[in-house]
Amino acid sequence: GAGVSQSPSNKVTEKGKDVELRCDPISGHTALYWYRQSLGQGLEFLIYFQGNSAPDKSGLPSDRFSAERTGGSVSTLTIQRTQQEDSAVYLCASRPTGSSNQPQHFGDGTRLSIL
């Protein structure tokens, strides 16, 4: 597609439920990133994919968080047993390669609210 696409745009769920967030990167972009944006914490890195592998998972806050990428394209971020502190906007970004000479292009995010 023309830009990074994320779905759903909004998600409201009850504490303890599992959620899946989807990211469809720009076609041909091999590098994919997940970030979280919350009040008081700003924008934080979660995980980076190069192709289907994740060389850097250092930002995942707990083992309730996991992510996968298949076919070098779509990625899914899964949060198990959601907690209220998981409420945030989850942003996905992609860029053509892992090169730092290219900017990361962001989607519009998924706004997650845990009741």
Partner 1 sequence: SQELEQSPQSLIVQEGKNLTINCTSSKTLYGLYWYKQKYGEGLIFLMMLQKGGEEKSHEKITAKLDEKKQQSSLHITASQPSHAGIYLCGAEQGAQKLVFGQGTRLTINP
Position among 24, 25, 86, 109 found at the interface with partner 1 (CB under 8 A): 109
- Binding-site size for partner 1 (CB under 8 A) equals 26
Rule CB under 8 A: say whether 56 interacts with partner 1: yes
Helix (H, G, I), strand (E, B) or coil at 74: coil
- Rounded distance between C-alpha atoms, residue 65 and residue 53, angstroms: 16
Residue 12's alpha-carbon distances to 6, 9, 62, in angstroms, are 15, 10, 21
Residue written as token pair 């745009």 = 9
41 or 83: CB nearest partner 1:
41
Residues that bind partner 1 (CB under 8 A): 4, 6, 31, 33, 35, 42-43, 45, 48, 50, 55-56, 59, 91, 93, 98, 100-101, 103-109, 111
